[in-house]
Every structure is written in structure tokens, then in C-alpha cells.
Structure 1
Amino acid sequence: MLNNVQPCGIGFRDEVNQVRTARPLDGPEPTAAFWRAHREGAPIALRTSGTTGGARTIVRSTSSWTGSFGPLIEHLGLHADDRMWVPGPLDSTMNLFSACLSEAAGAAWSPRPEEASWATLTPSALARALGTRPPMKVLVAGDGLPPALWERATGLGWSVVHYYGAAELSLVALGRHGQDLRPFESVEIDTVDDRIWVRSPWLADGYLDADGPGALRRREDGFATVGDRGRLDAGLLRVWGRAGAITTAGATVELAPLQAALAAHARGEVVLLGLPHPELGQVLAAATTSRDDLVTVRGWARRNLSGPRRPRVWRVVPRLPRTAAGKVDLHRLAEELAR
């Protein structure tokens, strides 16, 4: 067990100052508000979607983004004559980050794909785009990018870069896909008890609401975590996802590593969640986006999993419900599977 781990709400005196100075970027021109705050040295306040817990307001310095722009622009080869397609809303930190990144490179960005040379997409959005758009360069984030989807995209002429990060941690690791992630510039990663801890100049300061719920925890040595689980092995970061568990028949089942094991045998997406059960409390359910994956993954689970770790409900959901930020909406999915 780790000692000296603290939640990262902003203390009372600091909170008063941050409330007065932190700039919310929820207006009609959030990138302009970002650069204005940057010029004036003011912190910014970013509202999260609350998809992995309660919605909260993150406070960070603008330099915790802009300092990472140069190395990332160089890695991507992003130029002033490029045009970035950012299809999602800018109240998503992933999309706002990409829009500001484009402007830092002198490039244009647009919510529409016409004439775009680059795109910022989630893995599911990339899968949909492969059949409808000509090849382009794409920065993928939001969820882990399966190697099979990377192979499919590159085989069709797309150039794909994948990164792992979080709203509180910013960019953590970069690579070709979810099995090829290496620490980004100036990022140190420590995995303790299969939990990902990060120390870098790109971390957020904390939350405006010091007493409210928040995923960010910080150690005295400067490492911080949002609860994501994974392991750093031989320089490669394996990310299993946000810590989560269900209790079924009195047994606790951690979803992230189990979902990662199932997804390794699928070409599409696999999502695990708990559904209410009158006798067991919850029952483990699995949704796949492909009927072929349902057969393959279910067969693997039957051979390799037992007891409460084997999903009891299996469904094909070709189009998983999404939040505005492009993440799987687990609440809507649970409602859909319970019908």
C-alpha cells in the first residue's frame, strides 16, 4: 500500500484565487479563450464529461499543454499547410487539445473532413471513417487502439499515431497502437500494483471543488494517477483502462484487465459491464460490435475463463452508444442490454 497519496482538490485559499482567475473555456470560441489565457498567464478551467465518475472541473496551466505541443508537432510532422479534422465537440479535452495543437503549428482545423490532411478520431470513429473517407493522417485517442484496426487502417493507406492520456494527465504515451505505447517527452511512468502513475510537466493542478469527487491522486514524489490500470514492461506501456469492478454472487471482478484480455482476440470493440440481477446482485455482460467477434471471443472465454470472470450475457451491438465526447456510454448500453 502506498503512503502519502493525496486527492488533488485545490485548497480553500488557492480555490478562492483559482475561482477568480481560472478561465472557463465553454464559450463559442474556446481556442481563442485558451490563447488569451495563455498570453495573460491565467489558469484555465476544463469541465469533464463525467463518463468515469461525477463531472468535475479541472484546473491547469496553459503551459501544461503548450509545452508539449513542440515535441508532438515534431513527432507528427504537422505543418502550417495542414488541415486537421476535429469532428467532436470542443468541450471534450481531447478535441480541444487537438484544435489548440493545430493552431500552435500554424495549421487550420475544422469540424468537417473536407480537404483535411489530418484527423483527430477515437478508435470507433476511425473504423467508421475507413469505409467512407480517402486515406489521411490520423491522431487516435479516447480509447485503446486495437492492433488489428491499426493494421487495417495502414493497409488502406492511412498513417496512424495513437496516444494514451487523460484529462488530468494530458499526453502520457505515444505509439502506433495500444500495444506500442512508449512514454512521451518528459514523462516518467511508474506502475505500482498495476496502477499507472505519471510524473511530467503536463499534469493538471487539481480540481476547483476541493471537497468534490475526483480521480486524480498525487504522491509526495510528484507522481499522479487517475486510477487507470496497466503495466510498464521493457519500455512499453500496456493500458488496461480505468479501474472498475462489479460484484456478482459475492465475488469481485475487475473489468479492465479482463476486457483487455477479451479485446486481444477481437477485430472490433469489446465492452464489459455489470447488469442488475435479482439473485446475484450483478451479472457480467459482454458486448461486441461484430458477430464474428462474438463467436471468437465467446469461444475463447469458454475455454479460458471460469466462474464469475466468464461473461454470462453476450450481445452484438454494431453501434455502441456514445457520449458527445465519443466514449462508450455505459449507462445507455446497460439499458439497451437489459431490454
Structure 2
Amino acid sequence: MPPAPIRGEAAPLVDVATAADPVTAVLDAHDRGHLIALRTSGTTSRPRSVVRTTASWVESFGHVSALADVGPGSRVWLPGPLSATMTLFAAVHARYVGASLVGSPEEATHAHLTPAVLVATLAAGTDLRDRSIVVAGDRLRPEVARRAATAGARVTHYYGAAELSFVAWGAHEADLRPFPGVTVAVRDGCIWVRSPYLSQGYDGGDGPFVRGDDGFATVGDRGSLRGDLLTVAGRGTDAVVTAGVTVLVADLEHALRCATGEEVLVVGVPHPRLGAVVAAVLPNRDPGALARVKEAAREVLPAAHRPRRWFHVSSLPLTAGGKVDRAVLADLAASGRLGPGRPGPIPPAVADVEECR
């Protein structure tokens, strides 16, 4: 099924990225009944322009206000750029409901952060007491949510995508339930969503957004659903091909994270005969964490899927939107600029392939 058609001929399209004030551009488009085009981050693929009605955002505002406890008089800190859709949404929502934007966490009653920025904020010792923080843009580990709560913050977390808008909301990645008005289904391990918040597709070109005849749409994220509890593994199309075996990064990270509770990022490192080998990067220098993840890899992963290179990094590279920059991380691993762990042995099945080449 191809991506959904992006718009009718009669509706003008506003490219928000070219506006001097993107927030005003969105609200003006809403008043005029125009469509808006939003740029995706391009962290896992080339950037695309997502087209949506302004109503697909505005209809969720009441639910967001209730879940995040934002209203007139709230002071919202948004350290991310307005080019990031999660930040732009938060800014538009704040202005729409009468909240004000502030330039620092000290002035704020509320904040919208990525998990990486929340971790950095906690590490910096920033006073988060009595702040309401919405975390999105990547998975929020329960451990990080607990650290923020210990620091006095009230934390909520949501999963969504530029093409889908809100999908699920909760306290952290292990506590996600469908956002109000959203129906979630998992088909063959892929998350499908039906809601009034969906985009209309892309302005030119194709992409991962697909809408079926039944109104459900997907961007290819993988996950599972038990009752109304949604577990998100990640974008299944990100893969490392090693010795002819395709290893889905999202599945591998999810398996190691669930088995150990440790944050693990997986990238491919070029190999002269195997094409690539799987590498695991831990964002800390804890030898105990490394040992736990290695043991889990031996226990829960098929031999061909186990990481063969191990690295640590003291701080993760981030995109302008505050997400982990996987492309930079892969380059750092490939160039040897990350702290090394002991490489894992190449298993016999892979060694045989290597000899044949």
C-alpha cells in the first residue's frame, strides 16, 4: 500500500520551516484552514517534509494539557530547536493554551526534553524540583525517570512520530498506553495506529509512512502489545548486514535492554570481508555494565547477531533536536575514536564465511 495522498488541490500548503516565526505560521495556517509541511529530523534517513492539517495537532491539545498539566500561567522551557517537530508542537500548544515560553529551567514550571537532554540536565545538577517534564523523541528508561523523580520532577513520557503524532503516553518506556483517541494494533511485530492525529503523508517523494484501507497507518516501528500496554522496540528498517545476515538494530537493542536494564546502542562497523560487524556502545565506563550486557548477548542472542566489537562513550553525540546521532556514533566507532572494550570472537559460522571470501 503506497503512502496516503498528501492533500486535496484546494488546500494551500505552508512550509513552516521557511517561516520567520514557525509558531505563528502554524497558528495562522490554522485560522486560514491551510495545511502545514513539517520537516522530519533525518537522523535515520534523509529528511522529508510531512504534510498535515493543523486540526490533527489542535484536536490533541486538550488531552496534552490534561496529561502534562499545562495551561494559562504555565512557563514552558523548550531547549530544543523549533525545527524539531516535538519542540514546535510544544511551542504551538503553549501559545494556544496561554502558557509562556521561558529561556531557562530556573524560570520554568514545565519543560519538554529528549531523554538525552534530560540525562544531561540531571548530570549538570539543574534544580528540577516541582517541574513537570514531558520527555519524548526517544525511549525514556525507567531508571532515568526514577532519577528525575528523585530530583523532584514530575515526569511523563510519550511515543509518537512526525507522521503519526501522538501514539502512546505514560511514565516511561515500560508504561506506555494508547493516547486518548488512538487505537493501536501490532501486526507481524509492526505498530499500526488509527487516530485523528495522523498526517496526510509526504510532500514529494516516498517514505516509511503507509496507510492501509482500514485507516491504520505505520512508519515501520516495531513493538508488542499486551492488553493496552505498548512496548516500542524502534524502527525495524535500521539494520546491520554482517556476513549475509541482516541484524535489526531495534530488535537487538530491545533484547539487550530488557535482559540487563542497561542502555545499549548498536551500530555497524565496516569489515573488509564480512561487510560489517555488529558493535555495541555503552554510554558509560562501568565494567559491571559491560560484563552484564556481554553475558546477556551470549544468553539471549543468536551467534550471528551478537556484537563483535564493544565500545564505551562518556557522552553521546546528539543531533540539533537532542536525539542520539547514530550516524556520528557509527563514524566514531568505525574510526576508532570510542573507548574500546574487548572485541568478541567471531563465531565459527561467521569465520567460515570469512574464509570463503
TM range, smaller chain: over 0.9
How many pairs were matched up? 328
| 1:68–1:202 contact (8 Å) kept in structure 2 | yes
Matching residue's letter, 1:241:
G
Q: Matched residues in 1 for 2:153 and 2:258: separation? A: 22
Partner of 1:226: 219
* Greater Cα offset, 299-308 or 256-265: 299-308
Deviation track 1:106-158 (CA, whole Å, cap 9, x = no partner) reads 11113432310111111111111123211221000000111111112112211
* Larger RCO: 1 or 2 (CA < 8 Å, sep 6+): 1
Q: Write the mapping of 1:78-157 to structure 2, written as runs, cut at 5 A.
A: 78-131=70-123, 132-135=125-128, 136-157=131-152
User: Which of 192, 201, 205 matches 1:206?
Assistant: 201
Find the residue that maps to 1:327 and give its secondary structure: coil
Partner of 1:324: 320
Q: Matched residues in 1 for 2:103 and 2:209: separation? A: 30
User: Which of 49, 54, 74 matches 2:66?
Assistant: 74
| 2:264–2:283 contact (8 Å) kept in structure 1 | yes
Partner of 2:339: none
Partner of 1:310: 306
| 1:268–1:290 contact (8 Å) kept in structure 2 | no
User: Which of 282, 295, 301 matches 1:299?
Assistant: 295
Matching residue's letter, 1:308:
A
Find the residue that maps to 1:55 and give its secondary structure: coil
User: Which of 287, 290, 295 matches 2:281?
Assistant: 287
Deviation of 1:295 after TM superposition, in Å, equals: 3.0
| 1:198–1:224 contact (8 Å) kept in structure 2 | yes
Q: Matched residues in 2 for 1:28 and 1:232: separation? A: 42
* Moved beyond 6 Å, runs of 4+: none
TM-score by length of 2: 0.88
Identity of aligned residues (%): 46
Find the residue that maps to 2:79 and give its secondary structure: coil
Matching residue's letter, 2:171:
R
CA RMSD between the two structures: 1.6
Q: Matched residues in 2 for 1:87 and 1:111: separation? A: 8
Partner of 1:46: 38
Partner of 2:340: none
Q: Which has the larger radius of gyration?
A: 2
Deviation of 1:101 after TM superposition, in Å, equals: 1.4
Instruction: Return 5+ residue gaps in structure 2 as ranges.
Output: 336-357
Find the residue that maps to 2:60 and give its secondary structure: helix
Q: Return closer, same or farther for 1:238/1:157 CA change in 2, 3 Å cut-off.
A: same
Deviation of 1:265 after TM superposition, in Å, equals: 5.0
Instruction: Return 5+ residue gaps in structure 1 as ranges.
Output: none
Q: Return closer, same or farther for 1:28/1:113 CA change in 2, 3 Å cut-off.
A: farther
| 1:7–1:214 contact (8 Å) kept in structure 2 | yes
Q: Matched residues in 1 for 2:234 and 2:80: separation? A: 22
TM-score by length of 1: 0.92
Partner of 1:23: 14
| 1:197–1:225 contact (8 Å) kept in structure 2 | yes
Q: Matched residues in 2 for 1:266 and 1:91: separation? A: 35
* Greater Cα offset, 289-298 or 279-288: 289-298
